Amino acid sequence: EPEVTQTPSHQVTQMGQEVILRCVPISNHLYFYWYRQILGQKVEFLVSFYNNEISEKSEIFDDQFSVERPDGSNFTLKIRSTKLEDSAMYFCASSVGLAPNEQFFGPGTRLTVL
Amino acid sequence: GNSVTQMEGPVTLSEEAFLTINCTYTATGYPSLFWYVQYPGEGLQLLLKATKADDKGSNKGFEATYRKETTSFHLEKGSVQVSDSAVYFCALSDNRGSTLGRLYFGRGTQLTVWP
């Protein structure tokens, strides 16, 4: 069964460093998303991406964040200068269409900023 | 705005016990409602959904009914199994406006079922 994959599963970085989180969505999906969950808090929407551009972003998704689909299969989230408060589990998701179509989630990348 | 509130966990039950996880929502329009489940080491998986008032979503013995009058979407299962141990997330999507894509999630409820 097709699935969304994410790498790495765990990333440890120093404050101020750049990180790139990688995702491979399901191949025939058209919509791509990033969410994050800070420990003990809600899963929060970051950004959605369609037709090679951002279609929606939340107030969390500031200039430190960017997304890219560099090669038609990968979907990446870059954080330019990480802060302690960026420590969270980051989930990638993809869907054939907009909600209520199902969003398929990857297993997540745990980012720890020291 | 849109938000989801679900009962705090963790919830610990014995096998074959009845499960209820409460979820209430606030929405500006007429949302679709979802329950996602996350098993250890895996991503969130859609468990069930309902797209309009009075719809009942069901899957794997779990059920939830979209109650507009109480703005609720409580998850129930009549007899839980050890394999149901997971984190359960209630979520909504707005069916109109500028936030068509995003899901709004609750905090998740950890369920542990003992044999």
In the block, tokens 């299962």 appear at B77
Is the distance from CB of A93 to CB of A50 less than 8 angstroms?
A: no
**Spatial distance between the Cα atoms of A27 and A17, rounded to a whole number of angstroms:** 31
Collapse the DSSP code of A57 into the 3-class scheme (helix H, G, I; strand E, B; otherwise coil) and give the result.
strand
A94 pLDDT more than 90: yes
Six-digit token string for A5? 């994959």
Tokens describing residue B31: 């949302």
Per-residue pLDDT tens for B88-104? 999 998 876 555 678 99
Pick from B51, B98, B107: which is nearest to A100 by CB?
A: B51
Q: Among all residues of chain B, which has the CA nearest to that of A47?
A: B102
Which candidate, A19, A27, A1, A20, places its Cα nearest to that of A94? A27
Per-range mean pLDDT, top range of A88-92, A104-108, B43-47: A88-92
Question: Which chain A positions have a beta carbon within 8 Å of B34's beta carbon?
Answer: 100
A51-76 residue pLDDT tens: 899 999 999 999 999 999 988 889 99
pLDDT of residue A24: 97
Per-residue confidence (pLDDT) for residue B92, from 0 to 100: 92
Q: Does B100 touch chain A (CB under 8 A)?
A: yes
Euclidean distance between CA atoms B16 and B26, whole angstroms: 32
What number is the average pLDDT over the span A71-84?
A: 94
pLDDT, position A85: 96
Tokens of A77: 């989230």
Question: pLDDT (tens digit, 9 = 90+) per residue, B4-31?
Answer: 999 888 999 999 999 999 999 998 778 9
Q: How confident is the model at residue A36 (pLDDT cuts 50, 70, 90)?
A: very high
